[in-house]
Amino acid sequence: MPELPEVECVRRSLLPLVGSRITGVLVRRADFVTGTPPIQALIGAEIAALDRRGKQIAVLTQGGPIVIVQLGMSGQVLVESAGPRGERNSQTLRTHVHVEWAVEPARRGFTPPPPSFARVLFRDPRRFGGLTTLTSQRDLNERWAALGPDGLVITGDQLAESLAGSRRAIKAALLDQSVVAGVGNIYADEALFAAGISPRTLASRLCRDREAIHRLAAAIRTILHQAIEAGGSTLRDYLDADGRAGEFAQQHLAYGRGGQPCTRCGTILKTATVAQRTTVWCPRCQPSRARHPRQ
């Protein structure tokens, strides 16, 4: 499930597209695309930059609209090159492709010679993702203003500010993109485990423990950075634009480990539904009523 680290890895693997010109847009499923102007307005525009906030990628163009890419549950962006070093994606990766862009690659130097063209495939079997067009940077700013601070840089103070008075479980709050942008079910469980905080802790109560809230913010930043380092977590679908899987799932200490012993204390990890999501935690390392913080 693409969360911030996977989305960032996709963004980075797409960076070679900067400078390319979009020469064609094929929409196979109209309901995969929303927004104004029509996505065909991309034709002739040059990809100027790839930005990210939380789990959203923004494709900025020169002379065309901005496109927000949301990967949802199973979204992939695959770059298929033709020409000297072109490779073709496997047959299975050709199903559920809802939008394709034809791009004319940027010319940067002469070796190796760039492929004559490439295609960017937006694939999403479960179709929880989509593309949204925006007219201006102002629209993007407005849209991203609804998101909380990006998980890579969120501070304890920012977390405390948005959680003060919130009567939700901390896990529910972490999944809320207006609190922290980019955290999903996997990294919420991993960060709470790393910080030694029960997912059921009331957000407002956690806020009263200044040390704990800063520990949690630090855990979020660290886990997300480590996951990017490992290329993200591939459970089933996730691949970057070059078709590479991520290795971070091997380092998960909580997510997906319910019923197995805690790597820190050996207690059997507990599984329950918290915030409508399957949640795994260590009842001993993440006590629901915080012990007296070290004596």
Q: Minimum distance between the CB of residue 149 and DNA, rounded to whole angstroms?
A: 14
Assess 186 for contact with DNA (CB under 7 A): yes
3-state secondary structure of 1: coil
Assess 35 for contact with DNA (CB under 7 A): no
Identity at 200, one-letter amino acid code: R
Name residues whose C-beta falls within 8 Å of residue 107's C-beta, 6 or more positions apart in sequence: 114
Q: Minimum distance between the CB of residue 221 and DNA, rounded to whole angstroms?
A: 18
Q: Minimum distance between the CB of residue 282 and DNA, rounded to whole angstroms?
A: 17
Alpha-helix residue ranges (DSSP H) falling in the chain: 4-14, 137-144, 156-163, 170-175, 185-195, 203-207, 210-229
3-state secondary structure of 85: coil
Q: Which is nearer to DNA, 244 or 277 (CB)?
A: 277
Strands 270-274 and 277-281: antiparallel
Strands 21-27 and 97-104: antiparallel
Active site residue 112: no
Within 10 A of 204 (CB to CB), how many other CB atoms are there? 15
> Greatest CA span in the chain, whole angstroms?
66
In whole angstroms, what is the distance from residue 17 CA to residue 15 CA?
Answer: 5
Active site residue 210: no
Q: Candidates 5, 16, 54, 148: give the one binding DNA (CB under 7 A).
A: 54
Assess 172 for contact with DNA (CB under 7 A): yes
CA 39 to chain centroid = 23
Assess 73 for contact with DNA (CB under 7 A): yes
Assess 95 for contact with DNA (CB under 7 A): yes
Active site residue 270: no
Assess 208 for contact with DNA (CB under 7 A): no
Identity at 252, one-letter amino acid code: H
Q: Which stretch binds DNA (CB under 7 A): 67-75, 191-199, 219-227, 259-267?
A: 67-75
Assess 166 for contact with DNA (CB under 7 A): yes
Q: Name the catalytic one among 277, 283, 284, 287.
A: 277
Assess 1 for contact with DNA (CB under 7 A): yes
In whole angstroms, what is the distance from residue 227 CA to residue 4 CA?
Answer: 9
3-state secondary structure of 295: coil
Q: Which is nearer to DNA, 3 or 150 (CB)?
A: 3
Active site residue 236: no
Q: Minimum distance between the CB of residue 115 and DNA, rounded to whole angstroms?
A: 29
Q: Which is nearer to DNA, 45 or 274 (CB)?
A: 274
Q: Candidates 24, 40, 119, 168: give the one binding DNA (CB under 7 A).
A: 168
- Cα angle 97-21-29, degrees, rounded to a multiple of 5: 20
Q: Minimum distance between the CB of residue 126 and DNA, rounded to whole angstroms?
A: 4
Q: Which is nearer to DNA, 109 or 259 (CB)?
A: 259
In whole angstroms, what is the distance from residue 117 CA to residue 103 CA?
Answer: 6
Assess 276 for contact with DNA (CB under 7 A): yes
Q: Minimum distance between the CB of residue 94 and DNA, rounded to whole angstroms?
A: 12
In whole angstroms, what is the distance from residue 287 CA to residue 230 CA?
Answer: 29
Give the residue numbers annotated as catalytic, written as ranges: 2-3, 55, 277
Residue ranges binding DNA (CB under 7 A): 1-3, 54-56, 70, 72-74, 95-96, 125-128, 165-169, 172, 175, 177, 184-186, 236, 255, 275-278
